Amino acid sequence: MNEYDLFVPLYYNDGSPIGSEKLKNIQGLLLEHFKGLLTFPQPKQGFWKFGNLTYRDEIVIYRVISEDAPASRKFLGGLKQRLKSELRQEEMLIIEREIGLI
């Protein structure tokens, strides 16, 4: 069983806010595919360095769990490319962890 965390920015790179409808759409896509979703809606700050520049983002984290890692990687890989384009991001972070349940 695997767990995936999607780090989703709250602002475009130009500093304008990403609309709540877009965030709700992302939640809907994840819920539809994984049948469950955990959100960490309190904004978190992230820092990334590209070359000599340091970027700061405010993000929310969406967590999903899956028993089918290959299908999840395929879905999330496609979603990542789509979101990079729609949210005008250079990169988007998705973390995968193997987990066990008690």
- The tens digit of pLDDT for each residue in 76-87 reads 999 999 999 999
- 3-12: burial string, b at 16+ Cβ within 10 Å, e else: ebbbbbbeee
- The tens digit of pLDDT for each residue in 31-69 reads 999 999 999 877 788 787 878 888 778 999 999 999 999
The pTM of this model reads 0.88
Q: What is the mean pLDDT of residues 17-22?
A: 94
Q: What is the mean pLDDT of residues 2-16?
A: 93
DSSP-derived 3-state class of residue 16 = coil
Domain count of the fold of the chain: 1
68 beta partners:
none
CATH number at residue 33: 3.30.70.120
Q: What is the domain extent for residue 56?
A: 2-98
